Each structure stands twice: as structure tokens, then as C-alpha cells.
């Protein structure tokens, strides 16, 4: 299973968009400051998740979201996710 995720930093009021096949491990790396692009925004919250069966689909979706270059678009995704969340995987 692969995931596109959006993290939110309350301390910086910023979003981070990524994809991974190892959600729990990747999230821990963000929280521990082992990712250069998210080190300064800790702690991070998972604001959005989308599941995919293959890495290509996840990569394409991540790229699409990033290409929108729109905080409003990202916020709309986050809002829709919070209206219909699904449980986090137990990896």
C-alpha cells in the first residue's frame, strides 16, 4: 500500500506534501527531524491521507497536488479528508 500524505505544522502554519510506501516510518522520520524539508516545522500532524495500490499512482497524485501551488486547494483536500477520515495503518 502506498500513501499520499499532507502534513501540517501548527508552529509554522505550513503544509508538506509527500508520498511513501512506509507511512509509519516516514512519519517518524519527519517527527524526529530526519527529513531536511520538514525539520524546522516539528511537530507535524497528519492532515490528509490517500491510499494507492502502486507507487506510480501515488507519485502522480503527489505531483498533481504540488503542481497546483495553491494553499486553498490543499486546504480543501484537508477539509474533505476530515469530513471522511479513515484509520491510520498499523505497520
Q: What is the pLDDT of residues 41-80, one digit of tens each?
A: 999 999 999 999 999 999 999 999 999 999 999 999 999 9
Residue 84 has pLDDT above 90, yes or no: no
More confident residue, 45 or 83: 45
Q: Quickly tell me which residue has 500524505 as its cell.
A: 5
| Dihedrals phi, psi of 23, to nearest 5 degrees | -60, -50
| pLDDT surpasses 50 at 91 | no
- Is the confidence at residue 81, as pLDDT, over 90? no
Q: For the chain, give percent helix, strand, coil, nearest 5.
A: 45, 25, 30
Q: pTM value? A: 0.89
> Can you read off the three cell numbers belonging to residue 66?
504540488
Give the pLDDT score at 64. 98
In which domain, by residue range, is 66 found? 2-83
Residue 87 predicted with pLDDT over 80: no
Mean pLDDT in the chain? 92
Q: How many domains does the chain contain in total?
A: 1
CATH code assigned at 63? 3.40.1440.10
Closest CA to 41 of 9, 76, 68, 74: 9
Q: Is the peptide bond before 43 cis (omega within 30 degrees of 0)?
A: yes
Considering the domain boundaries, does residue 89 fall inside one? no
Residue 91 within any structural domain of the chain: no
pLDDT score at 55: 98
Amino acid at each position: 500500500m502506498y500513501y499520499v500524505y499532507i502534513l501540517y505544522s501548527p508552529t509554522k502554519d505550513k503544509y508538506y506534501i509527500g508520498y511513501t510506501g512506509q507511512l509509519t516510518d516516514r512519519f517518524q522520520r519527519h517527527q524526529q527531524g530526519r527529513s531536511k524539508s520538514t525539520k524546522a516545522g516539528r511537530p507535524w500532524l497528519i492532515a490528509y491521507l490517500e491510499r494507492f495500490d502502486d507507487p506510480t499512482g501515488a507519485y502522480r497524485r503527489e505531483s498533481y497536488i504540488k503542481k497546483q501551488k495553491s494553499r486553498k486547494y490543499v486546504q480543501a483536500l484537508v477539509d474533505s479528508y476530515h469530513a471522511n477520515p479513515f484509520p491510520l495503518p498499523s505497520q
